[in-house]
Amino acid sequence: MFGTEGKVVEERGERVSAFLTPGIHEAKIVGLEYMESRGGTPGMKFTFEGKPHGGDFAHPAGPQYKGSTAETTYWLSEKAWKYTQERLITMADKLGVRSQLDSAKGANAEEYTNAVAPVLLGKTARFKFAGQEIEGKVADDGTKKNNWFKAELASFGFVEAIGTDPSKLKFDETNKYDMKRLPVALVEEVNEDPFVGGSDSSDDGTW
């Protein structure tokens, strides 16, 4: 028998992605750890968490208040160091912790990452995340999933204090540096920037 009497249905809310989208977001640095690529290149992996869903920056932590995340890796090889150094200095200047960053020292990449972590962890700012188009995988049934954009910290003009008014950060979806698209042939593009990279997800930290 068909019918609806006695049935209560709660309307589903808008689906919130676990990952930040490309663009400009207020976010907190909730993770900073040493890592190595499969080839052994050392790097420091940042995890950013956006404003908690259903709350503000000071809202009590809880699963329903966890913000969307994004990751970016700054590489610490000899070739990449000058790029990473510039980004770290820019970030520290905007966050008001330059003297603390200058005091961070390390005999090797891992020691340096561990020294920098307490300087930047927990800091909140307005960040610009560029989009890197990722080719959709082929499912078990043979159908190909849609391509998607992974958000990573932009190379330039990527951070400012939250109180900056008006904001000086600019994001343009038509700019090839803000939205790095795959070639039409869908051949995976090689990223020539030596300090950008990272994995797709993280559950490090809550606000």
Residue 101, pLDDT score: 97
Distance separating the N- and C-terminal Cα atoms of the chain: 49
28: its two tokens: 């907190």
> Alpha-carbon distance 145 to 50, whole Å?
26
- Nearest alpha carbon to residue 81 among 197, 194, 199, 157: 194
* pLDDT value, residue 34: 98
Other beta carbons less than 10 A from residue 196's beta carbon: 21
**What pLDDT does 19 receive?**
85
Give a yes or no: residue 38 inside a domain. Answer: yes
63 lies in a domain?
yes
* 18, part of any domain: no
Q: What is the pLDDT of residue 121?
A: 96
> pLDDT at position 164, please?
93
Q: What are phi and psi of 160, to 5 degrees?
A: -160, 160
Give percent helix, percent strand, percent coil of the chain, each to the nearest 5. 15, 25, 55
- Predicted model pTM: 0.74
- The pLDDT value recorded for residue 186 is 47
Domain assignment present for residue 138? The answer is yes
E strands, 7-165, are 23-36, 42-50, 69-75, 124-134, 148-153, 159-160
pLDDT of residue 202: 37
Q: Which domain holds residue 166?
A: 23-180
Report the number of distinct structural domains present in the chain: 1
* 54 lies in some domain: yes
Cα 124 off chain centre by: 13
- With vertex at residue 137, the alpha carbon angle to CA 32 and CA 200, rounded to the nearest 5 degrees, is 5
- The span from the CA of 115 to the CA of 177, in Å, is 31
Structural domain includes residue 200: no
Please tell me what DSSP assigns to residue 145.
P
Q: Tens digit of pLDDT per residue, the chain (207 long)?
A: 666 777 776 655 555 678 899 999 999 999 999 999 999 999 999 999 998 765 555 555 555 567 899 999 999 999 999 999 999 999 999 999 999 999 999 999 999 999 999 999 999 999 999 988 888 888 888 888 888 888 999 999 999 999 999 999 999 988 888 898 888 654 444 444 444 444 443 333 334
The widest CA-to-CA distance across the chain, in whole angstroms, is 75
Question: Is residue 11 in a domain?
Answer: no
**What's the pLDDT at 80?**
95
Tokens representing residue 207 in the block = 């606000």
- The position carrying tokens 């990573």 is 152
Q: Distance between alpha carbon 183 and the CA centroid of its chain, in Å?
A: 23
Domain assignment of residue 12, yes or no:
no
Task: Report residue 138 as tokens.
Answer: 């082929």
Q: Which residue carries 């709660």 as its tokens?
A: 10
